[in-house]
């Protein structure tokens, strides 16, 4: 059964976290960022520190700036790890950046993330993701769930979030579709391996 799970993280313009304790924690130490590739014989990693001490993480602007810094460092680290001649470079690079950024954001404060995260499972088991119709149906299901999750955040959080509803849906759907495309590529690869002698 193909069950697809994705997390909606309300970062960038969507976040309004009131976390004075978090700011105190971050004032003590910078946030380390670690990048690594997916399973390999000898996984290679890179580590860098990104300072967020000067940011007010209780404001949307502060969280946006922190996320931007972490994303820029994740891009740099993953660029160092990926072999540009490898045909699987793009999906691996995207996964590396996504995983690295997610790990760094988790390190900022797990409890702060819990306050702005919604998770939903969307079953795609009945869809053939190798066809345009299957991908279209998957996109429709994911879009519907993204709207539902973002609406929940808009209704349960402060009023500063409401104008960012469209951005929330777009960001959530983009992340979900990246994972669906990776799932479809993995399935296609497994099928190709079964067919080849």
pLDDT at residue 102 in the model: 83
pTM over 0.85: no
Q: Pick from 105, 119, 120, 146: which is nearest to 15 by CA? A: 105
Angle between helices 132-156 and 165-195 (to 10 degrees): 150
Q: Which of 63, 90, 115 is the last residue of a domain?
A: 115
Domain match, 23 and 99 both: yes
Tokens of 72: 């820029």
Note down the domain range covering 138.
1-9+116-197
Domain match, 62 and 122 both: no
Domain match, 94 and 135 both: no
**How many separate domains does the chain show?**
2
Nearest-angstrom CA–CA distance, 137 and 124: 9
Domain match, 5 and 35 both: no
Nearest-angstrom CA–CA distance, 117 and 93: 24
Q: Which residues of the chain have pLDDT under 50?
A: 1-29, 37, 40, 111-113
Domain match, 136 and 73 both: no
Domain match, 106 and 131 both: no
pLDDT at residue 25 in the model: 35
Nearest-angstrom CA–CA distance, 75 and 113: 22
Q: Which of 115, 150, 181 is the last residue of a domain?
A: 115
Domain match, 33 and 94 both: yes
**H/E run at residue 33:** strand 31-36
Nearest-angstrom CA–CA distance, 63 and 52: 9
Domain match, 76 and 125 both: no
pLDDT at residue 144 in the model: 93
pLDDT at residue 18 in the model: 34
Q: Which of 115, 131, 146 is the last residue of a domain?
A: 115
Domain match, 121 and 173 both: yes
Domain match, 110 and 127 both: no
């Amino acid at each position: 059964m193909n069950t697809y799970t994705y997390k909606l993280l309300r970062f960038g313009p969507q976040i309004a976290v009131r976390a004075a304790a978090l700011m105190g924690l971050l004032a003590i130490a910078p946030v380390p960022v670690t990048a690594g590739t997916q399973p390999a014989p000898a996984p290679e990693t890179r580590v860098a520190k990104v300072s967020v001490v000067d940011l007010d993480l209780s404001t949307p602007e502060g969280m946006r700036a922190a996320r931007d810094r972490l994303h820029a460092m994740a891009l740099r680290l993953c660029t160092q790890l990926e072999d540009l001649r490898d045909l699987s470079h793009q999906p691996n690079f995207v996964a590396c950046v996504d995983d690295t950024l997610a790990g760094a954001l988790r390190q900022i404060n797990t409890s702060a993330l819990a306050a702005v995260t919604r998770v939903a499972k969307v079953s795609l088991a009945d869809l053939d993701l190798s066809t345009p119709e299957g991908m279209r149906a998957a996109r429709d299901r994911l879009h519907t769930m993204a709207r539902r999750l973002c609406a929940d955040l808009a209704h349960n959080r402060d009023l500063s979030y409401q104008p960012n509803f469209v951005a929330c849906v777009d960001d959530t759907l983009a992340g979900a579709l990246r994972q669906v495309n990776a799932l479809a590529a993995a399935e296609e690869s497994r099928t190709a391996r079964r067919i080849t002698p």
